[in-house]
Every structure is written in structure tokens, then in C-alpha cells.
Amino acid sequence: MCYVIITSASLVWFLCSLVADMLFAVALVTPRWLVGPAQGTDSTSSPHRQSSVGIYTRCKVMQEGGFQCGRFDLDGLATDSSVYPSEWKAAMFFVTLGFSILSVTVLLTLITCCRQSAFGKSIHNMTACAQVVAGICMMLGLFLHPMGWRANRIQRLCGMDAEPFYPADCSIGVSFYCGIIGLLLTFTAAGISLKAESSNMRTRVRRRVEAGSKLVCIP
């Protein structure tokens, strides 16, 4: 029999996983892990038009007054380390891996609404483990990015005093904070999965399923 079970715990689990996945995506693609100091007093010094850098992208205020954003990993992970620091290559790998794993778990949270196990294993438990792995990958990315702050690219942006975990004249950008919040939500989602599994197994749910209900919605 085909049936769908939706409980408040499973809904919160799905939403928490989805929001974490979206924050991972923002942290991955946006160039605002570090934001450079304001330059001048004209419109280019606004928070949205300051030089900044991400894992593999950057935005730069041009001397002639323009503003340009783009990638600097022109050859991917094979890009010269003087242009694309090795620590950032590793951060790129782990953040991408974490985002990919978490994206799969978002789909798995939906599958648990109609199927509780696969290959004799609880899908909830497998998904929770995968989310922990995704969180660890993001944690490594958040640790590795500051390790590369001694790079020439960062010293030109933030000042010669920039070094690992010290951005000198730069400030931490919104992309970095998105990664941190996404990390916390990922571990939270992994914990909620246990509650979601127990709520799907409640007596009220089993009775509704045994009674022939194909859609079971219980708070």
C-alpha cells in the first residue's frame, strides 16, 4: 500500500535541511567570505560595492571607478597556487562535497514520508549520518579558508598584516556567516531526524495506516 506520513517533526526536519542546503549554496557561490576596507567616499564604498573575495570568486573595485565580479579559479583546482591558494582549493572541495551530500539528504527527508527503511536500514538514521558528514565537510571548509589568508591576494586586499585567522583591515563577509549558520542547522537537522523517526512510528500513525489512510498528517 502506498501512503504518505507527515508529522510536525518530519516537516521541521525537511525545512531545516532545506534551509541549511540553501545556505551552503550561498556560501559556496557568493564572493563575500572576506570584505575589503571601504575605498573613498563615493558610491563605490557602499557595502554592496566593496572589494571582496569568496572561495573561488572575487569582486573588485576598479581604479577607473568600475566594479567587476568574476572567478579566479580559471583552471579549477589546477590553477596556480599563487592565484588560487591551496587551502582554498581544499576548502572548495570540502564545501562542494558537503553541499552535494546535504542536497541528497534533502531528497531523502521527503522519501521518509512514504518509506521508513531501505536494505534493512533506517532511512532516518542513514540520512542523519550523511548530514553529520556534510556538516563536517563544511566545518573543514570554514577552517581551511582562513588558513589561506596569508596569500598575496588577501594581503593586497586586507593589508600586509593579514595572516591565517587574522584578516587585518578586512571584515568577515555574509558568505562566511551563511556557512556557519548552515553548519549549525545541518547538525540540528541530524538531531531532529531521530525525533522524526519516532514520530512516524507512533501508535496513532500506525492505526491510521492500518485503517487504510493513504495520507496521514499528525502534529
Per residue in 184-200, pLDDT (tens digit) is 999 999 999 888 777 66
| Residue-wise burial string across 181-198, b where 16 or more C-beta atoms lie within 10 A, e elsewhere | bbbebbbbbbebbebbbe
Per residue in 162-172, pLDDT (tens digit) is 999 999 999 99
**Cβ-based burial of 98 (10 A; exposed 0-12, middle 13-18, buried ≥19):** buried
- When pLDDT is cut at 50, 70 and 90, the band that residue 67 belongs to is confident
Look at the alpha carbons of 51, 57, 63, 64 in this order and tell me if their dihedral is positive or negative: negative
Can you read off the three cell numbers belonging to residue 87? 587551502
What residues does 139 pair with on adjacent strands?
none
Residue 91: CB partners within 8 Å, gap ≥ 6? Answer: 55, 140, 141, 142, 144, 145, 148
Domains of the chain listed by start with CATH number? 8-208 (1.20.140.150)
Can you read off the three cell numbers belonging to residue 169? 583591515
- When pLDDT is cut at 50, 70 and 90, the band that residue 133 belongs to is very high
Q: How far apart are CA 35 and CA 121, in angstroms?
A: 46
Q: How far apart are CA 27 and CA 50, in angstroms?
A: 18
Q: How far apart are CA 193 and CA 123, in angstroms?
A: 10
Q: What are phi and psi of 136, to 5 degrees?
A: -65, -40
Query: For position 44, what pLDDT does the model report?
Result: 45
Percent above pLDDT 90 for the chain: 53
Per residue in 75-131, pLDDT (tens digit) is 888 889 888 999 999 999 999 999 999 999 999 888 877 766 677 778 888 999 999
CA 204-105-138 angle, to 5 degrees, is: 130
